C-alpha cells in the first residue's frame, strides 16, 4: 500500500517492529493517484464538504467497494459516515468513512500516519510481541478518492468506535481513581507503539479517547490529524523555540514545549497524558479559569512542575490521592527533550502492585480507591514528604467510633422506659442480666481469636482500622472498643489483654448506669465492714 510521495518517490510500509520505509519509483501502480491525493501547502480555513448522498459506492485503492450509510458526525476536517462493504452485506455497520475535500489537509495527515505506522499487520505483530490483550489504535482499512458535483473528495475507511470519554466526563465530572490509572496505562501502551514508529500524537484528551463499538470495555486513542513525525528516518528533531508557533494544540492540556513553540516530542505526549489524568481524577486543573490567557496557562503549568510533588498532592480531592500522578509528573519533568521514556517504569508508577487490568468503570465517581498502593511508598523527590496524603489521621477512627457509640446511647435512652417496665414484669433480676451481658462480651472477644487481621477496605490507600459502623443484625447493637490508632496485622486476644487500655474499654462497654450504682453501693458496704472488722481487732 502506498503511503506518501517524497521527491518523486512513493513510500510503502513494510511491517516490522518499527515499520521500515522502502522507496519505489513513480511508475508503481497507484503512484499517480497518490500524487493527486497530496494535500496542498496553502494555508486557509478548511471548508466542510457538501454531504455525499447515502448509498453512494466508493472504490478504495485496494479495489474494495464501500457503500455510504447515514452521516453520523462532522468535525473541523470533514464528515463521518457509516460504511458497509458491498461484498459482505451487514445490518449493523462496523466501519466508518471519513471524507474531506481533497485540498484540505487534516485527513491527509492522519492518512499518512496510518499508512506509515499503523498498518494492521504491524499492530498485530506488536500485540503478540508485547503479550497485550489489545492495542488502543483504531484499525485502518483503506483510502481513496471520489468525485461529486465537480469536486474531488478524499476518504478513509476506519473501524467504527463508540462514545468518547468527554461525554462521560461531562456526565460524571470526574472518574474513579482505578479508571484513571487504567486509562493511563492503556494510553502508555499506545504511545510506546506510535513513538517506536517515529510519530507522536500531540493532542491527547478525553474527546479523542473512544470506547470500542463491538468491545465497549476497550479504549482507543483516535484522531491523528495533528500527529507529528518527530524522528524521520531515525533522526530526532532538534530543540528549537519558535514564539510564532507557541501555544499550539489544546491549550488546556498541551505541553510546555508546545507553549514555547518547540516541535512535539515523546516527552510532550507523556506530559499531556499526565495533565489529562489529573483532570480526570480531580475534575479540574489549576489553570482552567485562565484559558483565555495562554501565557497565564503556561506560567501555571511551570509552577505545577517546579513545586512537585506538593503541588499535585495538594490538588487532590478529599478522600482520594494523587500520589501516583505526582511521581508520574516528576519522572516526566526530568526527561530530556530527545530522551526515550521508560514506559514500563511509568506503568509501574501507575500500578505499583501489578494488579491485572479489569473492565473500565465509568460509573459515578466514588471517593474510595480500588487499586492498592503501599502506604509508606515514597515519591523520589529532593523534598521530603512529612505525611502520606492518603493516610487517614488517627482522630478519624476515634471520631467514627465516638459517633457510633453516641448513636447507640441515644437509641438506648429512647428504649429505657420500655426496658424498665419489662424488668418489673419479669422476675429476672439485674444480676442475671449482668451475667448474660458479660457472656455476650466474652463471646465477642473470642471472635477476635478467629480473625487474623483487621478488615481492610478493598483496594484502599488508608491504614487498616476497625469498622466501628458494622452492626450484627441478630444481636442488639453494641459499640466496639477503641484500640490503638496503629493496629498490627495479626491482633488476637492475647495482644488485646496485654494492652493497658483493654480492661478500661471493656468496663466502659459492659457496665450500665445501674451496674455502676450497684458497684458503688457494694464497694461502700464492703469498705464499711472491713473498717468495723479492723476496729474490732484493735480493741481485742
Other CB atoms within 10 Å distance of the CB of residue 7: 5
H-helix or E-strand spanning residue 120: helix 120-130
- The strands making up 219-221's β-sheet, listed across from edge to edge, are 161-164, 209-212, 219-221
The grid coordinates listed for 311 are: 503541588
Give how far Cα 154 sits from Cα of 35, 77, 119, 170, 310, Å. 12, 11, 19, 33, 50
pLDDT of residue 469: 45
d(Cα 540, Cα 534) in Å, to the nearest integer?
A: 10
Alpha-carbon distances, residue 508 vs 471, 502, 515 (angstroms) = 18, 10, 11
**Which secondary structure element, helix H or strand E, spans residue 98, and what is its range?**
strand 95-101
- 347 C-beta neighbours (distance < 10 Å), count: 19
Largest CA distance in the chain: 135
Contact by Cβ (8 Å): 75, 138 = no
Contact 254, 263 (CB under 8 A): no
Which domains occur in the chain, in start order?
Answer: 31-159 (3.30.200.20), 177-205+226-350 (1.10.510.10), 394-525 (no CATH)
- Per-residue pLDDT in tens (0 to 9) along the chain, 540 residues: 333 433 333 333 333 334 433 333 333 334 333 334 444 444 455 678 899 999 999 999 999 999 999 999 887 668 999 999 998 777 889 999 999 988 877 788 899 999 999 999 999 999 999 999 999 999 999 999 999 999 999 999 999 999 999 999 998 888 999 999 999 999 999 999 999 999 999 999 999 999 999 899 999 999 998 899 999 988 999 999 998 888 888 999 999 999 999 999 999 999 999 999 999 999 899 999 999 999 999 999 999 999 999 999 888 765 567 889 999 999 999 999 999 999 999 999 999 988 888 888 887 644 433 333 333 333 343 343 334 434 434 443 444 444 444 555 555 555 554 444 444 444 445 555 555 555 565 565 555 444 444 444 444 344 444 444 444 444 444 454 444 444 444 444 444 444 455 444 444 555 566 677 788 788 888 989 999 899 888 887
Environment class of residue 260 by beta-carbon count within 10 Å: exposed (0-12), middle (13-18) or buried (19+)?
middle
Q: Any idea which residue has 478524499 for its cell? A: 154
Dihedral sign for Cα atoms in the order 341, 357, 94, 80: negative
Phi, psi angles (nearest 5°) of residue 112? -60, -40
Residues 6 or more apart whose CB falls under 8 angstroms from that of 438 comprise 510
Q: Please return the burial class of 371, using the count of CB atoms within 10 Å of its CB with bins 0-12, 13-18 and 19+.
A: buried
What local confidence, expressed as pLDDT, does residue 483 receive? Answer: 44
Question: In the annotation, is 380 catalytic?
Answer: no
Catalytic choice (164, 189, 203, 223): 203
String of DSSP letters for 332-398:
HHT--TTPPP-HHHHHHHH-TT-PPP-----SS--SS--S---TTPPP--SSPPSS-TTPPPHHHHH
DSSP 316: S
Amino acid at each position: 500500500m502506498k503511503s506518501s510521495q517524497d521527491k518523486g518517490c512513493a513510500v510503502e510500509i513494510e511491517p516490522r517492529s518499527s515499520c521500515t520505509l522502502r522507496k519505489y519509483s513513480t511508475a508503481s501502480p497507484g503512484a499517480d493517484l497518490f500524487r493527486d491525493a497530496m494535500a496542498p501547502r496553502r494555508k486557509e480555513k478548511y471548508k466542510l464538504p457538501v454531504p455525499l448522498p447515502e448509498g453512494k459506492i466508493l472504490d478504495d485503492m485496494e479495489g474494495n467497494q464501500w457503500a455510504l450509510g447515514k452521516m453520523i458526525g462532522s468535525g473541523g476536517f470533514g464528515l463521518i459516515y457509516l460504511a458497509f462493504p458491498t461484498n459482505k452485506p451487514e445490518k449493523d455497520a462496523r466501519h466508518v468513512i471519513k471524507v474531506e475535500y481533497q485540498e484540505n489537509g487534516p485527513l491527509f495527515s492522519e492518512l499518512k500516519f496510518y499508512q506509515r505506522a499503523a498498518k494492521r499487520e504491524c499492530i498485530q505483530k506488536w500485540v503478540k510481541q508485547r503479550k497485550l490483550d489489545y492495542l488502543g489504535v483504531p484499525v485502518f482499512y483503506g483510502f481513496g478518492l471520489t468525485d461529486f458535483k465537480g469536486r474531488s473528495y478524499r476518504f478513509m475507511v476506519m473501524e467504527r468506535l463508540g462514545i468518547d470519554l468527554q461525554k462521560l466526563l461531562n456526565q460524571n465530572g470526574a472518574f474513579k481513581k482505578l479508571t484513571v490509572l487504567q486509562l493511563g496505562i492503556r494510553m502508555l501502551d499506545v504511545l510506546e507503539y506510535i513513538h517506536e514508529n517515529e510519530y507522536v500524537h500531540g493532542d491527547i484528551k478525553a474527546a479523542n479517547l473512544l470506547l470500542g463499538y463491538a468491545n465497549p470495555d476497550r479504549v482507543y486513542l483516535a484522531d491523528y490529524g495533528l500527529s507529528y513525525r518527530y524522528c524521520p528516518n531515525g533522526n530526532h528533531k532538534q530543540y528549537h523555540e519558535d514564539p510564532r508557533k507557541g501555544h499550539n494544540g489544546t491549550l488546556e492540556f498541551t505541553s510546555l514545549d508546545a507553549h514555547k513553540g518547540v516541535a512535539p516530542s515523546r516527552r510532550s505526549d507523556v506530559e499531556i497524558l499526565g495533565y489529562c489524568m489529573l483532570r480526570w481524577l480531580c475534575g479540574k486543573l489549576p489553570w482552567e479559569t485562565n484559558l483565555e490567557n495562554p501565557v497565564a496557562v503556561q506560567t501555571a503549568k511551570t509552577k505545577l512542575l517546579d513545586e512537585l510533588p506538593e503541588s499535585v498532592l495538594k490538588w487532590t480531592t478529599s478522600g482520594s490521592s494523587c500520589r501516583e500522578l505526582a511521581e508520574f509528573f516528576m519522572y516526566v519533568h526530568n526527561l530530556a527533550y530527545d530522551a526515550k521514556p521508560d514506559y514500563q517504569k511509568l506503568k509501574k508508577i501507575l500500578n505499583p502492585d501489578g494488579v491485572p487490568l479489569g473492565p473500565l468503570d465509568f460509573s459515578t465517581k466514588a471517593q474510595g480507591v480500588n487499586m492498592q498502593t503501599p502506604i509508606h511508598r515514597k515519591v523520589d523527590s529532593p523534598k521530603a514528604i512529612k505525611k502520606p496524603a492518603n493516610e487517614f489521621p488517627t482522630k478519624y477512627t476515634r471520631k467514627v467510633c465516638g459517633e457510633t457509640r453516641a448513636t447507640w446511647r441515644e437509641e438506648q435512652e429512647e428504649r429505657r422506659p420500655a426496658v424498665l417496665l419489662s424488668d418489673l414484669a419479669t422476675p429476672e433480676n439485674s444480676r442475671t442480666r449482668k451475667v448474660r451481658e458479660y457472656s455476650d462480651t466474652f463471646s465477642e472477644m473470642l471472635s477476635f481469636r478467629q480473625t487474623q487481621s483487621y478488615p481492610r477496605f478493598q483496594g484502599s490507600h488508608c491504614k487498616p482500622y476497625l469498622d466501628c459502623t458494622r452492626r450484627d443484625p441478630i444481636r442488639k447493637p453494641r459499640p466496639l472498643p477503641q484500640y490503638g490508632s496503629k493496629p498490627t496485622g495479626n491482633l488476637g486476644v492475647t495482644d488485646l489483654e496485654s494492652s493497658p487500655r483493654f480492661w478500661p474499654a471493656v468496663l466502659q462497654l459492659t457496665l450500665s448506669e445501674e451496674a455502676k450504682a450497684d458497684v458503688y453501693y457494694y464497694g461502700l458496704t464492703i469498705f464499711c465492714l472491713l473498717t468495723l472488722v479492723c476496729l474490732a481487732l484493735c480493741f481485742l
